[in-house]
Structures are given as structure tokens and as C-alpha cells.
Amino acid sequence: MKIALTIAGSDSGAGAGIQADLKTFHQFGVYGTSVIVAITAQNTRGVRAVHAVPEAMVAEQLAALAEDLPPAALKSGMLATPALVRQVAEAIRERRWAPYVLDPVMAASSGDRLLTPEAERVVRDELVPLAALVTPNLDEAALLTGMPVESPDAMERAGRRLLDLGAAAALVKGGHLESAELEDILVTPGFVRRFRHSRVATTSTHGTGCTLSAAVTAGLALGRDLEAAVADALDYVHRALLAAPGLGGGHGPLGHHVPARD
């Protein structure tokens, strides 16, 4: 049994964050562990409150896993503050945990910024160079690279810029493009692959990015190569969107219960 670790925030509505990651890990047949860096009070309608976990407690969680349950692969999601970003980066470097998937949770689907400019800089400078894969949406890609990202060609350019910043690979997500077909672009030093899926007409999209990065992490923990792990993850998310249970009065959760590809 392979171990996959998620370092992220807790979502009381269980559609995103730690809860979505652990559900996804389970479906892929890996043992999920977690380090919680923030507690949120939220549902499908929005976030009511956020409480950052004290750094000392985050350190204890990281140490507990390092000594007994080290991961075969790991990911990070929302990290809340510049200090927590630095702390997570230091832990990954010191323990040489890899492969590491960075979901740079910096901008909401609405485009609202979720981190301070200082925290955004720390993500770019400290976490991007550690990443086997970074998975930004269009707004996050623009914040990380300093360039507008409004077309598939711009997505590819942003992916190449993320490689220049130190990432081993980048998956730039095109879900916010206004197009009938969904396009996500994987950029690596050796190749570029464009993944296309039909767009699912649903409001149950909460946690899509968390689920995708968790699925890639699970695939890497299982020893799959990056391209296969990304392809399997995108396929899982697409089917989870189709199977969304329609819960809540806002942006509901995905159907995490769908099986992962064998």
C-alpha cells in the first residue's frame, strides 16, 4: 500500500481541501495522510471563516508523518499565510519528499485572490522549484508568471515560464476559458500535450482543482509516469463531474465515489 500525503486546509463542506484529497486517494487505492494547515467554515454557497493552524502544530503533524508514515508522493493546496508556505517548503526540502505536486491555491473560480501578494511571491520562489508538477488555473498561472493567460497558446507559454521558474512540469488548466471544449495543457521539458474533454454543464464544480491534483499525486505514488498520471486524473475528474450528487444550494461537490481507472 503506497502512502500519499496532502498538506492543505480542511473544508467543512467536504467538497474540496483535505476531505476531497482523502476521498480521491481512497478511490485510487493509496493510503492518504494529511497535514491540516487551516480550518475553514464553508459550504457550497461560500466560505464563512478561515482559521490558520498554528505553525507549531503544523510542524508536529509533519514530524509525526516523517517518523512513521513517509509519503511516496505528496501535494499541497491552500497554505493560508506566507509563514506556512515557508514552513511547508522547508519541510519538503529537508525531508526530500518527492514527487511533489503543487496546487497553487491563489485565486478562486471567481478570480478573487486568496493569498496576499507576499504569500504569492513565496509560493513562486519557494514551492514552484520543488514541484514535479504545478497545476495552476488561468488566474493562478497569470499571478505566478506575470503574463496574461487568456488562450491555449498563452497557457502553453505560461507553462514554459513555470519551467523557467524551476518546476519540472506544469499542467495549466483551461476550465475558465469560454469555449465549448475544455482544454488543459501539460508542459514538460521534453514535450507538450493538450488534453481535451467535452465541457460538463454543471454547477457542481467545487473542489475540482483539489481533486485533480490529488489524483495526479495518487498516480505518482503508484509509480505511474507523469503523463499517465495526469491523463488518469483528468479522466477521473471528468467522470466525477458527470456523477456529481447535486448537493447544496451553491457550487456543489463532485462525485468522488466514481472508480479510478484500473
The pLDDT assigned to 108 comes to: 63
SS3 234: helix
**Residue among 135, 210, 211, 219 flagged as catalytic:** 210
Kindly report the pTM of this predicted structure. Answer: 0.96
The 8-class DSSP code of residue 256 comes to: T
**Residue among 6, 188, 205, 211 flagged as catalytic:** 205
- In the residue annotation, 209 being an active-site residue is answered as yes
- In the residue annotation, 44 being an active-site residue is answered as no
- In the residue annotation, 208 being an active-site residue is answered as yes
- In the residue annotation, 190 being an active-site residue is answered as no
CA distance 48 to 43: 8
The pLDDT assigned to 111 comes to: 55
**Residue among 33, 135, 208, 217 flagged as catalytic:** 208
The dihedral region occupied by 249, where left means phi > 0, alpha psi between -120 and 50, and beta the remainder, is alpha
Angle, helices 208-221 vs 17-27, to 10°: value is 40
**Residue among 173, 174, 211, 217 flagged as catalytic:** 173
Q: Which residues of the chain have pLDDT under 70?
A: 107-114, 262
The pLDDT assigned to 262 comes to: 60
CA distance 162 to 151: 16
All three cell numbers of 86, joined, read 515557508
